């Protein structure tokens, strides 16, 4: 079980059939009142399963899964160092003395230099990281939903070999909703 942000896209399945897909709140409301005890809910960004608490009716579900609303002017509460309006969050970084020495010589200080280095690294290979994350998420979803389906091993090999045609071919005998989700998740990383 993993937590998901209320705007995260999720899909709920039962017996290989898609029950609902969309933002977390919408899917939770769609499942409320149904026999969703055996439903598998997946976070489409990570492929991890989610346990939804559907007790208490629609209002309780809305209170549990609705995106938080902050009053105007209070976007991010002030709770210590950092620049919360910009989303800056202070955390600990552990470096060797030679790293701290080098950072001390850089213009702007350690924080500015680290942010710049991270941004440069993200720009250097954004597609590769996104593709790996999408592939891994698709594999987790595929394992959960189709791990016992015919052709799973071959489909897995094709997934990790970046062979989408082979993946589609080996996933073709699976329930169509599962095949569609896995292929959509993989293609999300290729866009």
- Whole-angstrom distance, CA of residue 77 vs CA of residue 75: 7
Q: How far separated are the first and last CA of the chain, in Å rounded?
A: 28
Chain segment 105-145, per-residue pLDDT in tens: 999 888 889 989 888 877 777 678 888 999 999 999 999 99
Helix runs in 17-175, H state only = 24-31, 57-65, 97-104, 109-124, 126-146, 152-160, 164-171
Domain boundaries, the chain: 9-65, 85-124, 126-188
- Whole-angstrom distance, CA of residue 22 vs CA of residue 37: 19
Chain segment 66-98, per-residue pLDDT in tens: 877 655 555 545 555 556 666 677 778 888 899
Q: Residue 175's pLDDT band (boundaries 50, 70, 90)?
A: very high
Are the C-beta atoms of 16 and 177 separated by less than 8 Å? yes
**What predicted TM-score, i.e. pTM, was given to this entire model?**
0.70
Chain segment 11-69, per-residue pLDDT in tens: 999 999 999 999 999 999 999 878 777 899 999 999 999 999 999 899 999 999 887 76
**In angstroms, what CA-CA distances link 185 with 9, 16, 140, 152?**
11, 16, 11, 16
CA dihedral 153, 154, 160, 161 (to 10 degrees): 160
**In angstroms, what CA-CA distances link 5 with 24, 46, 83?**
8, 12, 22
HEC letters along 28-46: HHHHCCCCCCCCEEEECCC
């Amino acid at each position: 079980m993993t937590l998901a942000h209320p705007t995260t896209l999720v899909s709920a399945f039962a017996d290989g059939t898609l029950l609902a897909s969309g933002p977390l709140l919408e899917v939770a409301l769609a499942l409320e009142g149904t026999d969703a005890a055996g439903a598998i809910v997946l976070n489409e960004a990570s492929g991890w399963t989610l346990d939804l608490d559907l007790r208490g009716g629609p209002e309780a579900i809305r209170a549990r899964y609705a995106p938080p609303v902050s009053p105007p002017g209070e976007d991010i509460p002030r709770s210590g160092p950092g620049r919360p309006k910009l989303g800056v969050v202070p955390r600990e970084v552990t470096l060797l003395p030679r790293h701290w020495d080098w950072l001390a010589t850089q213009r702007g200080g350690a924080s500015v230099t680290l942010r710049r280095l991270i941004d440069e690294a993200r720009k250097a290979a954004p597609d590769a990281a996104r593709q790996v994350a999408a592939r891994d998420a698709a594999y987790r979803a595929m394992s959960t939903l189709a791990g016992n389906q015919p052709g799973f091993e071959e489909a897995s090999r094709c997934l990790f070999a970046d062979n989408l045609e082979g993946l589609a071919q080996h996933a073709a005998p699976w329930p169509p909703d599962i095949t569609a989700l896995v292929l959509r998740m993989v293609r999300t990383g290729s866009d």
